[in-house]
Amino acid sequence: MSDHSENRPNGPIDDAGDPTDDADRQRRAEFILMMRARGIRNRRVLSALERVPRQVFVEAGYRDIAYADRALPISCGQTISQPFIVAYMTDQLDVRETDTVLEIGTGTGYQTAVLALLADHVYSIDRYRTLVENAERRLAALGIANVTVTLGDGYYGLPDEAPFDRIMVTAASPEVPSTLEEQLAVGGVMVIPVGPEGGVQTLYRIERSEDGLSRTRLIDVRFVPLVPGTARQL
């Protein structure tokens, strides 16, 4: 692992590395006010959200509504989560700056970028090569270097890098994969949507203490499914 200390506390995204315009910054500022109004109070989380330009991660035709409170379509038939859900899940994960984080479901890399500003290192996995490559390119363009994006099946996690202090899953599965629970460190937290494809899914916060695992129900959500295996198509 390389030294990422130069990325904090102010982080890699400075004005030079921010390819967005005043209109986008204005939308981001309004978005932060909205997130505060909806109960997100953690300053580190709000600051990370304010610094990541979401418009860089959405498809060109959706830039004007990048911060609208809805999920948007991305490549490979997937979606980027609605911004409130990204904020809420990030808040619930409670990432510390020394944490190693595992994210399942890189998608555009937007959530990855937010986590990278909060953590020491983020490992992120997606099953589509196109998504992995695009996310790597966007993160590099923003100067975010404390991230490793891997093509693979997130059901297996990353045993070689485990245990993880924090695990975030951004695709829904009918059950919590036991491999991911096994890769959670003592004192670790996982946030994961659980439920059937297209049906009622519930976000859970899972904590591992010395005594074992405990689960807390959070809110109902709607995610694309966690699909086993690496995608055969690109």
How far apart are alpha carbons 80 and 170 in whole angstroms?
9
Of 181, 186, 153, residue with least CA distance to 167: 181
How far apart are alpha carbons 93 and 167 in whole angstroms?
8
List the interface residues with ligand SAH, window 15-74 (CB under 6 A): none
Mask for 150-189, x = binds ligand SAH (CB under 6 A): ---xxx--------------xx------------------
Residue 59 or 97: the one with the smaller Cβ distance to ligand SAH is 59
Token match 């020491």: residue? 120
Residue 177 or 188: the one with the smaller Cβ distance to ligand SAH is 177
- For residue 1, the minimal CB distance to ligand SAH (Å) is 22
Stretch of residues binding ligand SAH (CB under 6 A), selected from 31-39, 122-130, 179-187, 198-206: 122-130
Residue 160 or 211: the one with the smaller Cβ distance to ligand SAH is 160
Token match 């510390």: residue? 96
Interface residue with ligand SAH, options 31, 123, 128, 204 (CB under 6 A): 128
Instruction: Write the Ramachandran bin of 116: left for phi over 0, alpha for psi from -120 to 50, otherwise beta.
Output: alpha
Which are the contacts of 23, defined by CB distance < 8 A and separation ≥ 6? none
Site for ligand SAH contains 88 (CB under 6 A) = no
Site for ligand SAH contains 194 (CB under 6 A) = no
- DSSP 3-state assignment of 11? coil
Active site residue 2: no
The residues that bridge with 207 in the sheet, in sequence order, are 189, 214
Interface residue with ligand SAH, options 105, 157, 188, 195 (CB under 6 A): 105
> Catalytic residue numbers?
81
